[in-house]
Amino acid sequence: MQFHPDASKIKRWREERHWSQDHLADLAGIGTRTVQRIEKGEAATYESVMALAAAFNVDVVALTVDPNEQAKAEKITEASKGLAGLRLSFWIHLASYVFVMIVFLAIDLSQPGDGFTMLVPAAWCTVGISGHGLAVAIFTLVHKFNQGELAP
Protein backbone atom coordinates (compact mmCIF):
# COMPACT_ATOMS: atom_id res chain seq x y z
CA MET A 1 0.00 0.00 0.00
CA GLN A 2 1.28 3.45 -0.92
CA PHE A 3 1.20 6.46 1.40
CA HIS A 4 1.64 10.12 0.59
CA PRO A 5 3.95 11.57 3.22
CA ASP A 6 4.15 15.33 3.65
CA ALA A 7 7.25 16.00 1.53
CA SER A 8 7.67 19.62 2.58
CA LYS A 9 7.45 18.73 6.28
CA ILE A 10 10.01 15.93 5.95
CA LYS A 11 12.41 18.17 4.06
CA ARG A 12 11.89 21.04 6.51
CA TRP A 13 12.48 18.79 9.52
CA ARG A 14 15.59 17.31 7.91
CA GLU A 15 17.02 20.75 7.14
CA GLU A 16 16.17 22.08 10.62
CA ARG A 17 18.27 19.27 12.06
CA HIS A 18 21.04 20.01 9.53
CA TRP A 19 20.87 16.45 8.23
CA SER A 20 21.78 15.47 4.70
CA GLN A 21 19.55 13.12 2.76
CA ASP A 22 22.24 10.45 3.18
CA HIS A 23 22.27 10.94 6.95
CA LEU A 24 18.47 10.67 7.17
CA ALA A 25 18.54 7.56 4.99
CA ASP A 26 21.15 5.98 7.28
CA LEU A 27 19.14 6.85 10.41
CA ALA A 28 15.94 5.46 8.91
CA GLY A 29 17.59 2.40 7.37
CA ILE A 30 16.27 3.17 3.89
CA GLY A 31 17.96 4.14 0.66
CA THR A 32 19.04 7.68 -0.16
CA ARG A 33 17.07 7.48 -3.41
CA THR A 34 13.94 6.65 -1.39
CA VAL A 35 14.43 9.80 0.71
CA GLN A 36 14.91 11.82 -2.48
CA ARG A 37 11.70 10.43 -4.01
CA ILE A 38 9.72 11.08 -0.82
CA GLU A 39 10.99 14.67 -0.61
CA LYS A 40 9.88 15.18 -4.23
CA GLY A 41 6.35 14.28 -3.15
CA GLU A 42 6.15 10.78 -4.59
CA ALA A 43 4.26 8.01 -2.81
CA ALA A 44 6.10 5.80 -0.33
CA THR A 45 5.55 2.42 1.24
CA TYR A 46 4.25 2.16 4.76
CA GLU A 47 7.58 0.69 5.88
CA SER A 48 9.50 3.68 4.51
CA VAL A 49 7.17 6.13 6.26
CA MET A 50 7.48 4.15 9.50
CA ALA A 51 11.28 4.22 9.20
CA LEU A 52 11.27 8.00 8.66
CA ALA A 53 8.92 8.49 11.59
CA ALA A 54 11.29 6.47 13.78
CA ALA A 55 14.25 8.54 12.59
CA PHE A 56 12.42 11.77 13.46
CA ASN A 57 11.05 10.20 16.66
CA VAL A 58 7.44 11.06 15.77
CA ASP A 59 4.23 9.15 15.07
CA VAL A 60 3.61 8.00 11.49
CA VAL A 61 0.50 10.18 11.33
CA ALA A 62 2.71 13.28 11.74
CA LEU A 63 4.37 12.51 8.39
CA THR A 64 1.36 11.62 6.29
CA VAL A 65 -0.94 13.91 4.35
CA ASP A 66 -4.68 13.43 4.25
CA PRO A 67 -5.60 13.65 0.53
CA ASN A 68 -8.94 15.30 1.37
CA GLU A 69 -7.26 17.98 3.48
CA GLN A 70 -4.62 18.54 0.81
CA ALA A 71 -7.28 18.96 -1.89
CA LYS A 72 -9.19 21.38 0.36
CA ALA A 73 -6.03 23.40 1.00
CA GLU A 74 -5.31 23.57 -2.75
CA LYS A 75 -8.86 24.81 -3.45
CA ILE A 76 -8.51 27.50 -0.78
CA THR A 77 -5.18 28.57 -2.27
CA GLU A 78 -6.74 28.83 -5.74
CA ALA A 79 -9.68 30.79 -4.34
CA SER A 80 -7.29 33.14 -2.54
CA LYS A 81 -5.49 33.83 -5.82
CA GLY A 82 -8.82 34.50 -7.51
CA LEU A 83 -9.86 36.85 -4.72
CA ALA A 84 -6.56 38.73 -4.96
CA GLY A 85 -7.08 39.14 -8.70
CA LEU A 86 -10.64 40.35 -8.21
CA ARG A 87 -9.50 42.89 -5.62
CA LEU A 88 -6.74 44.14 -7.93
CA SER A 89 -9.22 44.52 -10.78
CA PHE A 90 -11.49 46.53 -8.47
CA TRP A 91 -8.67 48.94 -7.55
CA ILE A 92 -7.83 49.38 -11.23
CA HIS A 93 -11.52 49.97 -11.98
CA LEU A 94 -11.73 52.48 -9.12
CA ALA A 95 -8.70 54.42 -10.41
CA SER A 96 -10.28 54.50 -13.88
CA TYR A 97 -13.56 55.65 -12.34
CA VAL A 98 -11.87 58.56 -10.56
CA PHE A 99 -10.11 59.58 -13.78
CA VAL A 100 -13.35 59.42 -15.79
CA MET A 101 -15.20 61.48 -13.17
CA ILE A 102 -12.48 64.16 -13.40
CA VAL A 103 -12.85 64.17 -17.19
CA PHE A 104 -16.65 64.42 -16.90
CA LEU A 105 -16.30 67.32 -14.46
CA ALA A 106 -13.92 69.09 -16.85
CA ILE A 107 -16.41 68.62 -19.70
CA ASP A 108 -19.26 69.98 -17.57
CA LEU A 109 -17.22 73.01 -16.47
CA SER A 110 -16.21 73.78 -20.04
CA GLN A 111 -19.82 73.75 -21.32
CA PRO A 112 -21.81 76.98 -21.21
CA GLY A 113 -25.01 76.91 -19.18
CA ASP A 114 -26.16 75.52 -15.88
CA GLY A 115 -26.87 71.90 -16.87
CA PHE A 116 -24.76 68.90 -16.11
CA THR A 117 -24.41 67.27 -19.50
CA MET A 118 -22.34 64.37 -18.15
CA LEU A 119 -24.67 63.48 -15.26
CA VAL A 120 -26.22 60.40 -16.90
CA PRO A 121 -22.87 58.89 -18.01
CA ALA A 122 -21.48 59.58 -14.54
CA ALA A 123 -24.45 57.80 -12.96
CA TRP A 124 -23.89 54.72 -15.16
CA CYS A 125 -20.19 54.68 -14.31
CA THR A 126 -21.16 54.80 -10.64
CA VAL A 127 -23.50 51.85 -11.15
CA GLY A 128 -20.64 49.89 -12.74
CA ILE A 129 -18.14 50.54 -9.95
CA SER A 130 -20.80 49.80 -7.32
CA GLY A 131 -21.57 46.44 -8.93
CA HIS A 132 -17.90 45.58 -9.07
CA GLY A 133 -17.47 46.52 -5.41
CA LEU A 134 -20.49 44.41 -4.46
CA ALA A 135 -19.03 41.42 -6.30
CA VAL A 136 -15.73 41.82 -4.42
CA ALA A 137 -17.56 42.07 -1.08
CA ILE A 138 -19.68 38.97 -1.74
CA PHE A 139 -16.73 36.91 -2.99
CA THR A 140 -14.70 37.97 0.08
CA LEU A 141 -17.50 36.89 2.43
CA VAL A 142 -17.89 33.54 0.65
CA HIS A 143 -14.13 32.98 0.78
CA LYS A 144 -13.98 33.76 4.50
CA PHE A 145 -16.97 31.49 5.14
CA ASN A 146 -15.31 28.62 3.25
CA GLN A 147 -12.12 29.08 5.25
CA GLY A 148 -14.08 28.92 8.48
CA GLU A 149 -13.40 32.53 9.46
CA LEU A 150 -17.15 33.25 9.59
CA ALA A 151 -19.65 31.18 11.56
CA PRO A 152 -22.43 29.57 9.52
Q: What are the tens digits of pLDDT across the range 32-68?
A: 999 999 999 888 888 898 899 999 998 887 887 665 6
Answer whether residue 27 is part of any domain.
yes
Condensed to tens digits (0 to 9), the pLDDT of residues 65-113 reads 665 666 666 777 777 888 889 999 999 999 999 999 999 999 988 888 7
pLDDT in tens, 112-129: 877 788 999 999 999 999
The strand pairing partners of 64, in sequence order, are 5
> What's the pTM?
0.52
C-alpha span between 75 and 94 (Å, rounded):
28
Task: Specify whether 136 is located in the same domain as 103.
Answer: yes
Statement to judge: residues 75 and 89 lie in one domain: yes
How far, rounded to the nearest angstrom, does the alpha carbon of residue 65 sit from its chain's CA centroid?
A: 18
Domain that holds residue 54: 2-63
Residues 114 and 127 reside in one and the same domain: yes
122 Cα distance to chain centroid: 36
